[in-house]
């Protein structure tokens, strides 16, 4: 799901119906359904909110939606199994991750055309851009490494070995560090953006799928699926400072915009754990539907 910056519309990909639902946030009513390719997975909106890009896994293409009219403009062929897409900070390019290939496709936003394929590691799972928009970091799940890409040249400039099955990757708000969650080695790799050197490997719980970094850049909260807990990391020291028990098989975590709460979706216990960020303690559990996976906050 993707939400426009001014909280006007939410765009939801419907994998089994080859469509995107447009929800009017003011009325909480679905205002339109847009036909796209088969098995749409991830969706990304350009910074100027003019276009939305949808990765259609079983159609080997990306659908382009005009956000102003909520209509599909075109489809862009990118190759087999596109599942994740992200737009560069300057809004000029969109990067498409494809599983289980060893390359990613680059789309020129102005022309809505594919301009490049970049060789990376096997099964790229996530991508993050530096704050200056010069580099991209790609976590390659089956290669145990991270590819560093020059965004302007669209070329691979370095490969950094990390842990086993790197799954999620994020850059700290100050732009100085890259955090990589390695789900099979139960740790988080920390990379220095300036040197691309590994500066720390932090042991966490079992199967760390997702993590969230507070907007002030002081803490990272790592969800450990098979430990039923969350590891709290001090970003300044790159050390684990707390472990918080949550529900059964936690999968995803988000932090409230005011930085007072974290919300954890627990798949097997059908609830959401609420964490007080000031005290790093569990406040309550909220019962929800079966097998909750992802959370988004308005």
233-261 burial code (b ≥16 CB/10 A, e <16) = bebeebebeebbebbebbbbbbbeeeeeb
pLDDT score recorded for residue 7:
54
Size (the chain), residues: 298
CB 293, CB 265: distance < 8 Å: yes
SS3 86: strand
What are the sequence ranges of the domains in the chain? Answer: 1-119
Task: For the chain, give the percent of residues with pLDDT over 70.
Answer: 97
Average pLDDT of the segment spanning 264-282: 94
pLDDT in tens, 154-189: 999 999 999 999 999 999 999 999 999 999 999 999
Q: Which parts of the chain fold into alpha helices (H)?
A: none
- Residue 5 or residue 242, greater confidence: 242
CB 105, CB 79: distance < 8 Å: yes
Rounded mean pLDDT of the chain? 93
pLDDT in tens, 229-242: 999 999 999 999 99
Cβ atoms < 10 Å from Cβ of 289: 7
* Domain at 1-119, CATH from 1.10.3720.10, 3.40.50.970, 3.80.30.20, 2.130.10.10: 2.130.10.10
CA angle 287, 258, 84 (to 5 degrees): 70
pLDDT score recorded for residue 9:
80
């Amino acid at each position: 799901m993707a939400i426009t910056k001014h909280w006007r519309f939410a765009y939801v990909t419907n994998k089994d119906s080859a469509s995107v639902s447009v929800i009017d946030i003011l009325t909480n009513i679905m205002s339109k359904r847009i036909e796209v390719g088969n098995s749409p997975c991830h969706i990304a909106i350009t910074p100027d909110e003019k276009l939305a890009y949808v990765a259609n896994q079983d159609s080997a293409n990306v659908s382009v939606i005009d956000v102003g009219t909520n209509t599909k403009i075109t489809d862009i062929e990118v190759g087999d199994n596109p599942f994740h897409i992200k737009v560069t900070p300057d809004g000029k390019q969109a990067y498409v991750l494809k599983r289980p290939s060893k390359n990613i496709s680059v789309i020129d936003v102005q022309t809505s055309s594919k301009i490049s394929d970049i060789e990376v590691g096997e099964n790229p799972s996530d991508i993050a851009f530096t704050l200056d928009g010069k580099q991209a970091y790609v976590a390659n799940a089956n290669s145990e490494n991270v590819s560093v890409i020059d965004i302007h040249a669209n070329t691979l400039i370095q490969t950094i070995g990390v842990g086993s099955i790197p799954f999620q990757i994020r850059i700290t708000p100050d732009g100085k560090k890259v955090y990589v969650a390695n789900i099979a080695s139960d740790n988080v790799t920390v990379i220095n953006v300036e040197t691309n050197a590994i500066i720390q490997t932090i042991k966490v719980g079992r199967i760390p799928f997702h993590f969230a970094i507070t907007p002030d850049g002081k803490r990272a909260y790592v969800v450990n699926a098979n430990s039923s807990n969350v590891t709290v990391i001090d970003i300044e020291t790159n050390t684990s400072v707390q472990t918080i028990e949550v529900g059964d098989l936690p999968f995803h975590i988000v932090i409230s915009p005011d930085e007072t709460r974290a919300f954890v979706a627990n798949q097997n216990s059908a609830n959401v754990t609420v964490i007080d960020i000031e005290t790093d303690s569990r406040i309550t559990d909220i019962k929800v539907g079966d097998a909750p996976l992802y959370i988004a906050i308005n």
